[in-house]
C-alpha cells in the first residue's frame, strides 16, 4: 500500500522577540550545552543502543539547534537524531561489501570511497550462477549416468537434485532479501540466522565442500588432458594387463599436484586476472552447450559416422585395432586382421582362438543413430553392473563361450567401478551446486534484494532445463553401449559428448578443458576468502591465524591451507570418489539454509521481513528433508562422517568460541521452547522424587561492586553441579536511576565470577532504598512461573556484633523469617571463606550431619549432592542424632540405619546421649553477657541528634568530675567499641571443662554470690543451656570434620529477642571450622519410594 508524505514547513513563532530575551536564552543554551558535555546520555541518563544512524560522531551539533521548533526534544538530540538527519544518512547508505565485519558495526570509519556498484541481475547473478552450476560432470559423466541408470532413473536423479537446489534457492532468496548481506555469502546468512555455532559449523563445511570442488575440477581437467587431448603425456604406463586404472590414478596425482601448485601461485599473484578470465571460461561453457544442441538437431537428418565394433553382444575397444572384422579379402586371399591376432595365438586361420570369439560374429553398428532412430526405448531402463564387467548391448544375439576363458588382455570395454542408483546420485549432485554464486556477490549488485532471487532462480531453471533435456536427448540419440562407455574407448578414445557435438568433437573437449580449469581457479579463489571470513568473525579460535593475509587483504595463509586440503582430494585421484565427499558438505550447507528460513518463518520474529514473498516454511522444510535424504542416499557413511565433523565443530564453538549475539533464529527458538516449557511446568511444588534445591544465592558486594565472599559461588557450583536452577542475587542500596551504571557494573562483576567458578545460572541485581526490602523483593519475585527457587543460600554475617554494622543481624533474622513465610528452605554457610574452592580436593575426612529435628530430609539430601562433586567425593558421610533420657539409643540407631538403607544412602550412624544436668555457671554468665549486650543495642537505637546530645552531656560530666562511676558507665555505653562483647577462648575452655558433679548448694552459693543472675529471663537461660550443651557434644565428635551440617533453630516469635537469637546461633557453632546451618521448607524433599 503506497504511503504519501507531505513536508510542511513550520513557521518559527516569536521571531520578533527582544534582543535581550534572545541573549538570555542564548546564555541558557550555552549552559545547557555545557551540561550536555558533562553528561552525554539522553535526558534520563540511559545509554542508547549503538547504530550506524544514531550517535554518529560526524553529526554537526550546530545544525541541531539552529531552529527552536524542536526545543522540547533538544536534550535527546545527542542520542536520538531528528528524522531529517536519519533519512539523509539512509539515503547516502550503500550496501558496499564490508568484509566480515557485521553490517551493524562500521569499524573502519576511514575506508576509502569505492566505486558505486553497477552490476545488474544478468551480469551479477545469472551468469556467475550459470558458470558455477554447469561444469565438469555435464561433460564427463552425464552420458555415463544416462547409460547406466537409464533415461527414467537419470531423470529422477536430476529432478531430485534440481528440486533440492530450487527449494534451497527459494529459502536463500528469503534470507538474502531480509536485509543487507555483506561478504561471506551463505556463511553470513546461516550464521546470522542460526547463530555462531551453526554458522561456524556449516561455514566450515561449506568451505571444505568448495575446497574439494576445486580438487574435483582439477581432476576433471587432468582426465580431459590425458584421456582426450594428449594420452601420450602420461608419465605412468600400464606394464601389465589390468593396471591401466592404477597407472591413470598415479598420473592424476602427479599432474594434479603440479596443477594445484600452479593454480595457487596464479591466485596468490594475480587474483584480479582470474576474475577477468571468468567471462572467457563462461563463454567456453555456453559454446559447448550450444554445440551439443546443434549436434542433436543435426542427427535428425544427418547422423555423424561413429561406428562401434561388437563381438556378439560385447563392445570392443578400438584402441588396438582398426578394422572391425575377423579377416579380410585381399587379392582373392583371405587375411586375418589385427582383431584376430588379439583373440588368437597366431595370425594363421587355423590358430587356436578364444571360444567366445570363435562362436560369435563381429558386427558394426552406428554409435549415434540419431534422434529419429527410436533408440530411446532401449535406453529407458537401467543397466547396473559389477566392477570389471563387459559393456554389452541389449537384445543383441550372442553365444556364450567357455567359462574358464580369461577376459584380461582382450579388447573389451570394461566397467571400472560397480554402479548402483545411490552412488550415481552422489556423483551427479556436484553438478547442481554453485547456486550461492549470486549471493556471494551481493556487495557488487545495484539492487541485491531484487537481483539475488531473480537471477538465482532463473539460473537454476535454465540449468535444470539443460540437464533434463540433455538426459532425454542423450538417451534418444546415442547407442546405450556408448553411453555406458565412460572413457569413449569404443569410439577411438573420443569424449562421448563430443561425438554428438557439431561441428567437431574438439569444441566440447577444448571447451570443457577451459571450463574445468576456470572452475578450479575460482574455487581456489573463493574458498580462502570464505575461511578468512569465518576466521575474522572470531567464533572458531583455532583458525584465527587464517584471518591474516597480505596488506591488501588477500588471504595468504588461508590459501595455503586450501591448497593443502585440495591436495588430499588430488591424492584420492578418482573423480568418482571425490564427488560424493563434496556432495555431503554442500548438502549439509543447503540443509541449514532451509532450516534457517523455516525457523525464522515459524518464529515470526519482528525482524523477519523479506522482500521476496514467494516462500513458505513448508517449502523450506521440504527442502531440508530432501537435502537430508539425499545425503544418506548418496552415501550413509559419508553423511555420518560429515555430520560428525559439523557436530564436533558446533560443540567446540559452543565450548571455546566467542559468544556472539547476532539476533539469530536459534536464540529465538530457545526462547520459544523455554516459554513453552515454562507454561507446561506446573506453578506449584514438584513431586518429592523430582525435588532438588533450586537456589537463590544472596551475595554481598563491597563499595567497588565486587563480591565479598566468592567461595559462596564455589560452594553453589559444588552443590548444584550445573543441574537445576541457580539465581545469584544481590541488593544495592539507593534509587535505581542514580545507581543504573553501578548496577550494570555489579552485574558484570557477578557474571564474571560466575564464569570463573563455573556456576551456571542467572544473575539478578536489585536496587532498593532499603537493604532489607531488597532482599525481600528477591525472595518474593526471583524466578519465573514454575521455575522459581525453593532454597535460599547465604553467608553468615560475621560482623553482626560490630557497631557500624548494627543492622546486619536484624536483616539476617528478617531473612530467616521471610524464607519460612515463603515456605522456602534456608542454607546459611558459616565461615564461608574457609570453604574449599573448586580446585581443591579432600582426600579424606567426614561430612557430619547433626540431625536434631526432622525438617523434611534436607540434611540427608545435601551431603549426597555434595559428594557428587570432585571436591567432596572422597569424604565419608556420618549422621549423628541426639537421644534424650527416655529414648532407647540402641533401637534409635537400628531404626536410623534401616531408614538410611531405604533411602539408598551410605553413612555411618551414631546416637549421642545428652543427659539432663544442671545449668552451669558458664551458661548463666553467657546469658548475662547476652542480655547486657541486648540492652546496650537498644540504647544505641536512639536518633543521631540524641546520641550527639548524650555524648556532649557525658563529655561535660567527665570534665567536671573524673571520679564519678556513673560517668564511666555512660562513657562505656556511648563508646561501645571498647566493650568486650564475647568471652575469650581460654575462659570458654576453662568453663567447659569444669567438673560436672557440682551439687545444687554450690550453685545456690553462686546465686548468692551473683544476685544479678536471679533477674535473668529463664527462657533465655534454657536456650543458652541447650546451645552450650549441644555445642560441646558437636565439638567432641565433629571438631575435625570437613563440614558440619546442623539443624538451624527458628527465630523467636517475639521480635524483642532477635539479637539473643544471633547469640544462640553463635554459641551453637562456636569452635567449628565449616558449618552449614540448614532450615527446611516444611515439606518432604526425600523419599524411600521409587
Rounded to the nearest 5°, which phi and psi values hold at 884?
Answer: -90, -175
Helices 771-781 & 808-821, crossing angle to 10 degrees? 20
Residue 623's pLDDT band, with cuts at 50, 70 and 90, is: very high
Average pLDDT over residues 341-348: 84
**What pLDDT score was predicted for residue 706?**
87
Q: Which of 541-550, 586-595, 915-924 has the lowest mean pLDDT?
A: 915-924
Residue 469's pLDDT band, with cuts at 50, 70 and 90, is: very high
**What pLDDT score was predicted for residue 40?**
42
Average pLDDT over residues 78-95: 51
**What pLDDT score was predicted for residue 215?**
92
**What pLDDT score was predicted for residue 30?**
46
Strands (E), 566-704: 695-699
Helix, strand or coil, per DSSP, at residue 501 = coil
Helices 196-223 & 505-537, crossing angle to 10 degrees? 150
Q: Is 80 exceeded by the pLDDT of residue 50?
A: no
**What pLDDT score was predicted for residue 969?**
38
> What is d(CA 363, CA 309) in angstroms, rounded to the nearest whole number?
6
Q: Is 70 exceeded by the pLDDT of residue 225?
A: yes
> What is d(CA 433, CA 582) in angstroms, rounded to the nearest whole number?
10
> What is d(CA 330, CA 325) in angstroms, rounded to the nearest whole number?
13
Give the torsion through C-alpha atoms of 739, 742, 744, 747, to 10 deg.
-120
Residues pairing with 310 in the sheet: 315, 363
3-state secondary structure 17-41: CCHHHHHHHHHHHHHHHHHHHHCCC
* Strand 314-315 relative to strand 695-699, pairing: unpaired
H/E element, 1077: strand 1075-1079
**What pLDDT score was predicted for residue 927?**
60
963 vs 1049, more confident: 1049
How much is the mean pLDDT over the chain? 76
**What pLDDT score was predicted for residue 998?**
39
Average pLDDT over residues 59-82: 50
Q: Which of 224-233, 315-324, 601-610, 913-922 has the lowest mean pLDDT?
A: 913-922
Rounded to the nearest 5°, which phi and psi values hold at 707?
Answer: -75, 130
**What pLDDT score was predicted for residue 628?**
94
Q: Which of 536-540, 1006-1010, 1044-1048 has the lowest mean pLDDT?
A: 1006-1010
Average pLDDT over residues 569-589: 88
* 172 in Cβ contact with 517 (< 8 Å): no
Average pLDDT over residues 547-576: 86
Q: Tell me: the pLDDT tens digits for 847-884? A: 999 888 777 778 888 888 888 888 988 899 998 888 77
H/E element, 232: none
Average pLDDT over residues 294-310: 89
Q: Is 90 exceeded by the pLDDT of residue 159?
A: yes
Most confident of the following: 141-150, 340-349, 676-685: 141-150
**What pLDDT score was predicted for residue 618?**
94
Q: Which of 48-57, 118-127, 504-513 has the lowest mean pLDDT?
A: 48-57
Q: Tell me: the pLDDT tens digits for 492-533? A: 888 888 888 888 888 999 988 988 888 888 888 888 888 888
- Work out the burial of residue 971: count CB atoms within 10 Å of its CB; fewer than 13 is exposed, 13-18 middle, 19 or more buried: middle
* 469 in Cβ contact with 159 (< 8 Å): no
Q: Tell me: the pLDDT tens digits for 973-1008? A: 333 333 333 334 444 444 445 433 433 433 444 444
Q: Tell me: the pLDDT tens digits for 649-698? A: 888 887 775 566 565 556 666 777 777 777 777 666 666 666 778 889 99
> Grid coordinates standing for 197?
555455532
**What pLDDT score was predicted for residue 664?**
59
**What pLDDT score was predicted for residue 1066?**
83
> What is d(CA 519, CA 498) in angstroms, rounded to the nearest whole number?
20
> What is d(CA 878, CA 714) in angstroms, rounded to the nearest whole number?
23
Q: Is 80 exceeded by the pLDDT of residue 103?
A: no
**What pLDDT score was predicted for residue 1039?**
85
Residue 573's pLDDT band, with cuts at 50, 70 and 90, is: confident
Residue 907's pLDDT band, with cuts at 50, 70 and 90, is: confident
Residue 357's pLDDT band, with cuts at 50, 70 and 90, is: confident
- Work out the burial of residue 915: count CB atoms within 10 Å of its CB; fewer than 13 is exposed, 13-18 middle, 19 or more buried: exposed
**What pLDDT score was predicted for residue 660?**
64
* 131 in Cβ contact with 438 (< 8 Å): no
> What is d(CA 236, CA 252) in angstroms, rounded to the nearest whole number?
10
Residue 322's pLDDT band, with cuts at 50, 70 and 90, is: confident
**What pLDDT score was predicted for residue 936?**
56
> What is d(CA 517, CA 504) in angstroms, rounded to the nearest whole number?
21
**What pLDDT score was predicted for residue 119?**
75
**What pLDDT score was predicted for residue 147?**
92
Average pLDDT over residues 824-838: 89
491 vs 101, more confident: 491
Average pLDDT over residues 43-50: 42
Closest CA to 850 of 1030, 1024, 712: 1030
**What pLDDT score was predicted for residue 820?**
86
Residue 474's pLDDT band, with cuts at 50, 70 and 90, is: very high
Q: Tell me: the pLDDT tens digits for 377-415? A: 989 999 998 888 888 888 888 888 765 556 667 888 888
Average pLDDT over residues 572-586: 88
In a 13 Å sphere around the CA of 460, the CA atoms on its Cβ side amount to 27
Enter the DSSP assignment of 549: -
Q: Please spell the DSSP secondary structure of 288-305, one letter per residue.
A: HHHHHHHHHHHHTTS---
**What pLDDT score was predicted for residue 473?**
93
Residue 44's pLDDT band, with cuts at 50, 70 and 90, is: very low
- Work out the burial of residue 799: count CB atoms within 10 Å of its CB; fewer than 13 is exposed, 13-18 middle, 19 or more buried: exposed
62 vs 1044, more confident: 1044
Amino acid at each position: 500500500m503506497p504511503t504519501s508524505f507531505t513536508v510542511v514547513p513550520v513557521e518559527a513563532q516569536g521571531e520578533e522577540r527582544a534582543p535581550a530575551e534572545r541573549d538570555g536564552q542564548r546564555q541558557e543554551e550555552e549552559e545547557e550545552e555545557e551540561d550536555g558535555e558533562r553528561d552525554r546520555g539522553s535526558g534520563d541518563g540511559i545509554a542508547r543502543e549503538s547504530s550506524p544512524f544514531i550517535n554518529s560522531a560526524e553529526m554537526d551539533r550546530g545544525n541541531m539547534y539552529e531552529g527552536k521548533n524542536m526545543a522540547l526534544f533538544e536534550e535527546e538530540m545527542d542520542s536520538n537524531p531528528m528524522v531529517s538527519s536519519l533519512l539523509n544518512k539512509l539515503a547516502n547508505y550503500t550496501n558496499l561489501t564490508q568484509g566480515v565485519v557485521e553490517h551493524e558495526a562500521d569499524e573502519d570509519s576511514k575506508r576509502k570511497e569505492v566505486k558505486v556498484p553497477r552490476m545488474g541481475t544478468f551480469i551479477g547473478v545469472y551468469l556467475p550462477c550459470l558458470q558455477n552450476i554447469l561444469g565438469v560432470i555435464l561433460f564427463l559423466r552425464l552420458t555415463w549416468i544416462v547409460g547406466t541408470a537409464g533415461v527414467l532413473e537419470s531423470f529422477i536423479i536430476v529432478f531430485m537434485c534440481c528440486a533440492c537446489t530450487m527449494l534451497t534457492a527459494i529459502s536463500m532468496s528469503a534470507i538474502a532479501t531480509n536485509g543487507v548481506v555483506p561478504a561471506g555469502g551463505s556463511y553470513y546468512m546461516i550464521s546470522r540466522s542460526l547463530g555462531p555455532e551453526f554458522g561456524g559449523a556449516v561455514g566450515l563445511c561449506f568451505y571444505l565442500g568448495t575446497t574439494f570442488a576445486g580438487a574435483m575440477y582439477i581432476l576433471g581437467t587432468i582426465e580431459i588432458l590425458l584421456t582426450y587431448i594428449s594420452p601420450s603425456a602420461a608419465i605412468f604406463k600400464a606394464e601389465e594387463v589390468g593396471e591401466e586404472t592404477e597407472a591413470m590414478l598415479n598420473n592424476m596425482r602427479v599432474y594434479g599436484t603440479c596443477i594445484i601448485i600452479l593454480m595457487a601461485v596464479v591466485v596468490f599473484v594475480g587474483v584480479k586476472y582470474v576474475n577477468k578470465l571468468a567471462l572467457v571460461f563462461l563463454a567456453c561453457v555456453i559454446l559447448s552447450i550450444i554445440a551439443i544442441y546443434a549436434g542433436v538437431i543435426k542427427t535428425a537428418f544427418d547422423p555423424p559416422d561413429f561406428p562401434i565394433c561388437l563381438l556378439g553382444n560385447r563392445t570392443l575397444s578400438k584402441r588396438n585395432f582398426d578394422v572391425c572384422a575377423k579377416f579380410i579379402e585381399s587379392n582373392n586371399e583371405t587375411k586375418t586382421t589385427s582383431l584376430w591376432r588379439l583373440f588368437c595365438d597366431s595370425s594363421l586361420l587355423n590358430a587356436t582362438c578364444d571360444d567366445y570369439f570363435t562362436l560369435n560374429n563381429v558386427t558394426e553398428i552406428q554409435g549415434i543413430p540419431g534422434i529419429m532412430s527410436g533408440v530411446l526405448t532401449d535406453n529407458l531402463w537401467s543397466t547396473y553392473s559389477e566392477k570389471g564387467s563387459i559393456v554389452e548391448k541389449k537384445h543383441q544375439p550372442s553365444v556364450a563361450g567357455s567359462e574358464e576363458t580369461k577376459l584380461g588382455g582382450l579388447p573389451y570395454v570394461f566397467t571400472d567401478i560397480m554402479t548402483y542408483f545411490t552412488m550415481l546420485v552422489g556423483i551427479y549432485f556436484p553438478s547442481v551446486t554453485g547456486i550461492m554464486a549470486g549471493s556471494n556477490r551481493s556487495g557488487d549488485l545495484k539492487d541485491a534484494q531484487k537481483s539475488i532471487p531473480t537471477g538465482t532462480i532463473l539460473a537454476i531453471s535454465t540449468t535444470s532445463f539443460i540437464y533434463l533435456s540433455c538426459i532425454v536427448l542423450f538417451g534418444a540419440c546415442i547407442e546405450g553401449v556408448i553411453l555406458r562407455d565412460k572413457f569413449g574407448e569404443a569410439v577411438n578414445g573420443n569424449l562421448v559428448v563430443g561425438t554428438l557435438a557439431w561441428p567437431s568433437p574438439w569444441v566440447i573437449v577444448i571447451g570443457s578443458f577451459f571450463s574445468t580449469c576456470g572452475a578450479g581457479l575460482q574455487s581456489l579463489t573463493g574458498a580462502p576468502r570464505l575461511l578468512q571470513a569465518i576466521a575474522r568473525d572470531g567464533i572458531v579460535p583455532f583458525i584465527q591465524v587464517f584471518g591474516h593475509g597480505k596488506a591488501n587483504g588477500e588471504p595468504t595463509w588461508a590459501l595455503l591451507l586450501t591448497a593443502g586440503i585440495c591436495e588430499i582430494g588430488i591424492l584420492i585421484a578418482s573423480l568418482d570418489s571425490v564427488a560424493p565427499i563434496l556432495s555431503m558438505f554442500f548438502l549439509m550447507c543447503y540443509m541449514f539454509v532451509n532450516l534457517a528460513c523455516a525457523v525464522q518463518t515459524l518464529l515470526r520474529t519482528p525482524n523477519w521481513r523479506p522482500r521476496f514473498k514467494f516462500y513458505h516454511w513448508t517449502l523450506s522444510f521440504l527442502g531440508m528433508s530432501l537435502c537430508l535424504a539425499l545425503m544418506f542416499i548418496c552415501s550413509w557413511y559419508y553423511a555420518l562422517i560429515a555430520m560428525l565433523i559439523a557436530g564436533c565443530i558446533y560443540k567446540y564453538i559452543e565450548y571455546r568460541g566467542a559468544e556472539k549475539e547476532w539476533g539469530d533464529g536459534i536464540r529465538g527458538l530457545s526462547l520459544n521452547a523455554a516459554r513453552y516449557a515454562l507454561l507446561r511446568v506446573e506453578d506449584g511444588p514438584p513431586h518429592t522424587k523430582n525435588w532438588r534445591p533450586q537456589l537463590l544465592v544472596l551475595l554481598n558486594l563491597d563499595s567497588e561492586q565486587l563480591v565479598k565472599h566468592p567461595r559462596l559461588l564455589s560452594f553453589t557450583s559444588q552443590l548444584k553441579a550445573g543441574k537445576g536452577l541457580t539465581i545469584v542475587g544481590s541488593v544495592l542500596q539507593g534509587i535505581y536511576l542514580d545507581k543504573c551504571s553501578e548496577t550494570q557494573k555489579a552485574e558484570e562483576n557477578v557474571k564474571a565470577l560466575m564464569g570463573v567458578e563455573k556456576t551456571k545460572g542467572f544473575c539478578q541485581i536489585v536496587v532498593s532504598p532499603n537493604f532489607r526490602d531488597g532482599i525481600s523483593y528477591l525472595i518474593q519475585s526471583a524466578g519465573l512461573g514454575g521455575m522459581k527457587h525453593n532454597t535460599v543460600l547465604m553467608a553468615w554475617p560475621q560482623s553482626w556484633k560490630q557497631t557500624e554494622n548494627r543492622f546486619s543481624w536484624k536483616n539476617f533474622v528478617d531473612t530467616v523469617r521471610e524464607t519460612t513465610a515463603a515456605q522456602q528452605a534456608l542454607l546459611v554457610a558459616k565461615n564461608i571463606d574457609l570453604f574449599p574452592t573448586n580446585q581443591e580436593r579432600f582426600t579424606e575426612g567426614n561430612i557430619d550431619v547433626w540431625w536434631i529435628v526432622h525438617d523434611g530430609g534436607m540434611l540427608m539430601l545435601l551431603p549426597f549432592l555434595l559428594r557428587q562433586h570432585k571436591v567432596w567425593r572422597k569424604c565419608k558421610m556420618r549422621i549423628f542424632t541426639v537421644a534424650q533420657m527416655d529414648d532407647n539409643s540402641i533401637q534409635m540407631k537400628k531404626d536410623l540405619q534401616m531408614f538410611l538403607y531405604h533411602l539408598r544412602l551410605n553413612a555411618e550412624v551414631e546416637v549421642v546421649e545428652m543427659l539432663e544436668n544442671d545449668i552451669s555457671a558458664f551458661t548463666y554468665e553467657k546469658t548475662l553477657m547476652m542480655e547486657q549486650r541486648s540492652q546496650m543495642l537498644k540504647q544505641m537505637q536512639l536518633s543521631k541528634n540524641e546520641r550527639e546530645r548524650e555524648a556532649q552531656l557525658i563529655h561535660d560530666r567527665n570534665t567536671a568530675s573524673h571520679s564519678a562511676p556513673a560517668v564511666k558507665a555512660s562513657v562505656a555505653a556511648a563508646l561501645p567499641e571498647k566493650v568486650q562483647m564475647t568471652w575469650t577462648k581460654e575462659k570458654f575452655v576453662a568453663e567447659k571443662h569444669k567438673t560436672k558433679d557440682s551439687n545444687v548448694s554450690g550453685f545456690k552459693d553462686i546465686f548468692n554470690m551473683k544476685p544479678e543472675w536471679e533477674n535473668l529471663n529463664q527462657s533465655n537461660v534454657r536456650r543458652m543451656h541447650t546451645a552450650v550443651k549441644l555445642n560441646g557434644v558437636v565439638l567432641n565428635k565433629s571438631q575435625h570434620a570437613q563440614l558440619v551440617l546442623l539443624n538451624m533453630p527458628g527465630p523467636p516469635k517475639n521480635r524483642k529477642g532477635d539479637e539473643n537469637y544471633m547469640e544462640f546461633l553463635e554459641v551453637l557453632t562456636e569452635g567449628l571450622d565449616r558449618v552449614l546451618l540448614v532450615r527446611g521448607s516444611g515439606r518432604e524433599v526425600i523419599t524411600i519410594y521409587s
